[in-house]
Amino acid sequence: MTIRTDPPGALVEVDGTPIGFSPASMSFTYYAPRKIKLTHDDYETVTIIQDVPPPWWDNWLTEFFTENLWPFTVRDEREFHYSLEPRKVHSTESILQRAESVRKEAHTEALQGPSGRAGALF
């Protein structure tokens, strides 16, 4: 399995294990959805659940034939391409406004309690 990104050079993690910087390749022994995380400076971190379905020759009808009787080596190589979005730059003012709204919300909940009634903490 090879994972390519645009731009190249993103750190690639598959199922929580770092495999290198894109383009990065790894071998695999079973077909299943894979959790792929892509991290790159100045770009948004992306987590993808990538389905890796088995090929046509790997099913209960043909598997015995292709693995035992087929005279050629069968190799399954997958390639996935992902485009990364530039990281959004937030202004200091927008961050301070968000922090103030969270602080007010936390203060209101502390006074009212989680049930929404005043004095619920006592």
Where are the alpha helices (H) located in the chain, listed in sequence order? 63-64, 92-112
Per-residue pLDDT of the chain (122 residues; tens, 9 = 90+): 999 999 999 999 999 999 999 999 999 888 899 999 999 998 999 999 999 998 887 777 887 887 788 788 778 899 999 999 998 887 888 888 888 999 888 888 776 766 655 555 44
Other beta carbons within 10 Å of 10: 25
Q: What is the pLDDT of residue 122?
A: 47
What confidence score (pLDDT) does residue 8 get? 94
